[in-house]
Amino acid sequence: MESVRASFVRSPQKSTYRAARELEMPQKTVWRILRKRLQMKSYRLQLLQALRDTDYAPRASFCADFLTLMEEEGFPERLRYSDEAVFHLSGNVNRHNDRLQR
């Protein structure tokens, strides 16, 4: 258990497969020690895009337009919410999951 802990203290981004090879033990054993004994959980760091000064005016405009739409009769009932979207590095957003029922 201590050798597994020391291995990940030295190199926290190491995979369990690589650690298993270095420690000469099965990968599943390394994984179980990390999860059950050491109570460590893996995570993937996600880098998010920062807001720029040029982003605030379009966002405020969208909010104002949306508030105007919310005052229309029947509009709120036609809304469908989803947290799914595909963002590309080029800045394009695939809005295939955005739906407005007419």
**Is residue 21 over pLDDT 70?**
yes
pTM of the model: 0.43
Q: How high is the pLDDT of residue 63?
A: 93
Distance CA 44, CA 41 (A): 10
Euclidean distance between CA atoms 19 and 80, whole angstroms: 46
pLDDT one-digit tens code per residue, 60-80: 999 999 999 989 888 888 887
Residue 23: how many CB atoms within 10 A of its CB? 16
- pLDDT over 80 (residue 38): yes
- Here the tokens at position 25 are 């033990």
